[in-house]
Amino acid sequence: MTHTGDDDLRQALATLVKQLTREEPQTRGTPLLEVLDEHLGTRADELPVVVEKIDLHRWVDVDIALAEVAGRDADARLVGVGGGDQRHHSSLGDLIANAEWGRFRQGQVDRLNVATGPDDERATVAFGLHLFRYADRPVVVLQRGHNPQYGGEARLEVIVQDPEVGSALLTEVRDLAVSRSVLRGQVVSFAGNPYEPSLGGITFVRRPDLPADRVILPEGTLTQVRGHVVELAVHRDELRRRGQHLKRGILLYGPPGTGKTHTVRHLIGAGADTTVVLLAGTQMAYVAQAAQIARAHQPAIVVLEDVDLIAEDRDHGHFGGSSPLLFTLLERWTVSTRTPTWSSC
């Protein structure tokens, strides 16, 4: 006599026992906390974390600077963090706290290709841990790129036993990011064109090559303009030695077809090592930001096309902001072009 119900019960119990006693497959990757503790020589979860926020347009500069600093240590390592999307929502402190329970493990480094010029790009570290020694102290730096999908902002997060060493490290990274900046010597605009190589809202523009013989102006005019812009940059060291300031401004005005645009294109092409920021139309709202880029990447030129729109902003506030753009322009004036309406000629 067969007892079907008892057989089914025994089979179900046997299956359950196998599931409960079955060995879990080995998780790949070394637990993150083990990696950090070994490098730091102490418990990583007992050390403070210092955070440095990074502007989007400076992300690739910081990537270059940090790679240079870390690269001085022959034993430096760059490791990724595995553990799913939750890592994007967690600070470095949270990653370490959860790593104790095996949540996060060593994984692959996330990379992000970022434009560094009209025809070049760099595979930056979008999410990765730099393990190296700085000032003879073990340091951990989490490099995290901007990630709007998870509400994350670009930043560096540093762990080191000596706070002064951490401060010195971040200071050097900032300084190197300026001196090694990919914006230096480039022609850029704030156009934000998705079909052009861009970096944090800044678009790289190919430098024009317009020889002087293609600029039609009254005799001697182009020579005077070149002396005021191009030759000024050539002799900047001597001018500084003599106590002369280097800020200069030129207003090119007249109806369409009088050579304003050609003149500017010639000047941009003549200054091969000069940083150039182009502003036109609604981009005028970025006058202050353009001036900051110019100051940090000298020698530099800021070109304002249709500058009369800024004077209009003084009366009508077309570009918004708490400070009238006209006052900002007068404070930071460099080079501008203007096409006035016939009524203002």
Integer Cα distance of 310 and 319 in angstroms:
9
Helices (H) and strands (E) in the chain, counts: 11, 14
Residues 87 and 224 in one domain: no
pLDDT in tens, 79-123: 988 766 667 767 778 777 776 655 677 778 899 999 999 999 999
Indicate whether 142 pLDDT > 90. yes
The position carrying tokens 């203002």 is 344
Residues 36 and 175 in one domain: yes
Percent of the chain topping pLDDT 70: 76
Indicate whether 19 pLDDT > 70. no
Helix (H) or strand (E) segment spanning residue 61: helix 59-70
Residues 142 and 207 in one domain: no
Residues 44 and 172 in one domain: yes
Integer Cα distance of 270 and 215 in angstroms:
13
Indicate whether 208 pLDDT > 50. yes
Of the residues 179, 197, 212, the one at which a domain ends: 179
Question: For residue 200, which of 28, 10, 5, 60 has the smallest C-alpha distance?
Answer: 60
Integer Cα distance of 81 and 106 in angstroms:
5
Q: Please give the distance of CA 167 from its chain centroid, rounded to a whole number.
A: 20
> Which residues span the domain enclosing 267?
187-344
Structure tokens at 85: 């999307």
CB atoms closer than 10 angstroms to residue 341: 8
User: Which residues, listed in sequence order, are joined to residue 130 by a DSSP beta bridge?
Assistant: 78, 141
Of the residues 160, 179, 198, the one at which a domain ends: 179
Residues 163 and 248 in one domain: no
Integer Cα distance of 183 and 79 in angstroms:
28
Indicate whether 153 pLDDT > 80. yes
Tell me, what's the pLDDT at 84?
67
Residues 106 and 231 in one domain: no
Residues 194 and 339 in one domain: yes
Total of domains in the chain:
2
Helix (H, G, I), strand (E, B) or coil at 7: helix
Residues 195 and 337 in one domain: yes
Residues 157 and 227 in one domain: no
Of the residues 158, 179, 200, the one at which a domain ends: 179
Between 63 and 11, the higher pLDDT residue: 63
pLDDT in tens, 231-284: 777 777 777 787 776 677 788 888 888 888 898 899 899 888 889 999 887 787
pLDDT in tens, 23-44: 444 456 677 888 889 999 999 8
Phi first, then psi, for residue 82 (nearest 5°) are: -100, 160
The position carrying tokens 């003149």 is 263
